[in-house]
Structure formats: structure tokens, C-alpha cells
Structure 1
Amino acid sequence: MKPYAKPQGERRGLLLVYTGDGKGKSTAAFGLALRAHGRGLRVRVFQFIKHATARFGEHRALARLGIPIEGLGDGFTWKSRDLEASAGLAREGWQRAKEALLSGEYDLVILDEATYPLRYGWIDLEEFLETLKARPPHVHVVVTGRGAPEALLAQADTVTEMRKVKHAFDQGVPAQRGMEH
């Protein structure tokens, strides 16, 4: 006997949110991208903090697989020399991500680090939520980042909160290539 009743709901595009102060939010999203791609789904990734020329491990791996990944920002916001320029990049990037979401061309759209421009007010939360509601019914969406707004959590089908228990960086261990933390 199964430990659960068979779900009776409709099959449709899901909204998943990976949030919290622990590590692994983006990594979980990229794992889902791999799973979806392996099943023949069309995947697109937008990163709201990474810059357009970023070549981190995920960029290299996804490019080899033919999964489009686009950096929309100018790097870590706390290092930004011009926050208005950062905000402009986020708004421009949101327009590209919005087009991809609404086009129906992709089965899974990952909005990595999107909670930050939402929290900073660079992207209008109501417009963001309305766009997620208006996407074609087959489109799955993953939103990652710390401090996801309550309204986004309420709209999501699945929310996972990553909680930091222990972190090597706090012990003086620097980030390591291929294991960025």
C-alpha cells in the first residue's frame, strides 16, 4: 500500500520557490533544470545578480547542454558602484524573462536570484506575480533567492526554505572553484 493517496489534481505548470539563508537554492534549481532537460523539456535560465559575461561552473555546464542561461545583473549588489544602474539592468532583464515566461516557448523558466530585485523594489512585485499567473499553463517556474516576499510564497505551489546549519565560510574557508559557496 502506498503511504499517500494518489493526487487527483490537474497536471499544470508549477511555481516553485527556493528561499532561505542556507546554501543550495540555485544548485537545487540547476538540478531541476538538468532533470527537465533530460526529459526533453525546454529550459531557460535567467540570473538576476550574475553579470552577462559570467562564466561560473553552471554557465559552462548548461552551455554544453544547450540550455540558455543569461546573466541580467552586474554582480553582487553589495559591491555595486551604481545601484541605479543595477536597478536598470534588473528591470531590463525582467522584460526579457517576462517575454520568455509568456511566450510558451519554454517548459521550465528559472528566475535565479529574482527575490533580490523584488525586495529592493527594482521589479514591481504585483507585476511579477501577475506575470506568473498569466504564463501559459504548461510553463513551470522556479524562483530562487533569500527573503522571498510573502505574496510570492502564498502564490507558489511548492516552497522550500534552505536553512544554514553550518557553513565553511564562517570557519574561514574560502570559496572553492567548482564548489562555490
Structure 2
Amino acid sequence: MVAQLQTPSLNVLSDLPYTVPGLVQVFTSGQRNFFTDVMAQALRIAGQGKSVLIVQFLKGGIHQGYNQPVQLGQNLDWVRCGFPGCIDGSDIDESEKNLLLDLWRYTQAVVSEGKYELVVLDELSLAINFGLIPETEVLDFLDKRPRHVDVILTGPNMPEEILQMADQITEIRRSHRP
């Protein structure tokens, strides 16, 4: 059972005499990694009454497509691709690729509507590097998003042009100390 916490609406954007621009943050590493700090940040922001969307492009789940998001509390929607497995490379069948592209189109649409204040795009770099989502579309998406929307991109080997666009880059490295 998940408890639903009622968070008062702060309406911070409408109370300010100006719009605070959103940031593009990148969390990357040399290998595939789970970015715990990103998930903790998303949960914290949702707990403060802000709307958050987490999109996991390469992880599937049983009946977990964008039309059936997992809702954590009242402010966090979590969506995955609508297939049961995970994508580990560019060699996927046409139906899986279509589901991934449907998720990408859905993400673009809800972000352009300004529905969310924070959007986490998990493993997007791998989807780009596998040739499943065009890098030019991602750059265009980041450039044209509503200015108040914060976007966090995760994944190994983030493309250089996205790094150049980022306001903040966090690189996770493994320590070889005993």
C-alpha cells in the first residue's frame, strides 16, 4: 500500500514576478549505472509539491507503458516502455522499437504542454547511442521545452553536443581503492 500525501500547492512560478529558467542536468558514467541520486532528487522534488515525470526508455515492465504510469504519491509519474523486457542493444524487433518511439513521442508531448516541472530521462544516452532515438530530436526537444522545466538526462557515454548544452554535468566514476 502506498500512502498518498497531500502536499499544499505552492504555485511558486505564478507567485514570482519572473520565470525561473529550468536547468538541463546530465548524470553520466563510463558504464551503465543506476543513478540513485537522481531518483532521490525526483522524490524530494515531488514531495515539495512539484510535478515530476520519470521516463525509463530501455526498461520495460509488465503493463507499464506510458498509458499506465506508476504513480508515486500525487506528484510523481513513472513510465517505462510497454514491453516486458529490457533493451540491451540496437538489435530489437520492430514492435519494441515502435513502443520506444511511442514513449519518446509521449514524453515530447507532455513536456511541451508544461505538465511537469521536472523530467528525468533515464538511459536516454543509450537510446541515442543505439540509434533508437535521433540525437538531433533530443537536442531540439531540450531547446524547445518550456523554459521553466528542469530536465535530467542519465546514461553512459552522453553525446558531446548534449554535454555542451547542459547546465550541470555530474560524472560518476568507480573508485579502485581497496
Same fold by TM (over 0.5)?
Answer: yes
Report the CA distance between 1:80 and its aligned residue.
Answer: 8.6
135, 144, 169: which one aligns with 1:159: 169
1:39 corresponds to 2:63: no
Taking the aligned partners of 2:73 and 2:28, their CA distance within structure 1 comes to: 26
Matched to 2:118, the amino acid is L
Cα contact 2:90–2:131 (8 A) shared by 1 = no
Unpaired runs of 5+ residues, structure 1, are 1-9, 56-61, 167-181
Secondary structure, counterpart of 1:63 in structure 2 = strand
In structure 2, distance between residues paired with 1:23 and 1:80: 15
Q: Return structure 1 stretches of 4+ with deviation > 6 angstroms.
A: none
- Match of residue 73 from structure 2: 65
- Hey, what's the Cα distance between the residues in 2 that align with 1:105 and 1:98? 11
Cα gap change, 1:54 to 1:39, in 2 (>3 Å): same
Aligned alpha-carbon RMSD (Å): 2.6
* Alpha carbons of structure 1 residues 116 and 22: separation in structure 2 relative to 1, 3 Å: closer
Q: 1:52 to 1:12 in 2, by over 3 A?
A: same
Do the aligned partners of 1:20 and 1:163 also contact (CA within 8 Å) in 2? yes
Structure 2: distance between partners of 1:155 and 1:130:
11
Q: Which residue of 2 aligns with 1:94?
A: 104
Ranges in structure 2 where 5+ consecutive residues have no aligned partner: 1-18, 65-69
Specify the alignment match of 1:169 in structure 2: none
Greater Cα offset, 29-38 or 134-143: 29-38
Q: Percent identity?
A: 31
Q: Structure 1 or 2: larger helix share?
A: 1
| Letter aligned with residue 37 of structure 1 | A
The C-alpha deviation readout for 1:62-116, integer Å capped at 9, x for no partner, is 7342311011264332389734443322211110111122110110011111111
TM-score (norm 1): 0.73
> Contact (CA 8 Å) 1:22, 1:165: kept in 2 or not?
no
Structure 2 residue 39 is matched with structure 1 residue 30 = yes
Q: Which amino acid aligns with 2:153?
A: V
**What residue is the counterpart of 1:20 in the other structure?**
29
Tell me which of 97, 122, 143 is aligned to 1:112.
Answer: 122
Partner SS state of residue 71, structure 2: helix
User: What does residue 149 of structure 2 align with?
Assistant: 139
Compute the displacement of 1:19 (Å).
0.5
Secondary structure, aligned partner of 2:40: helix
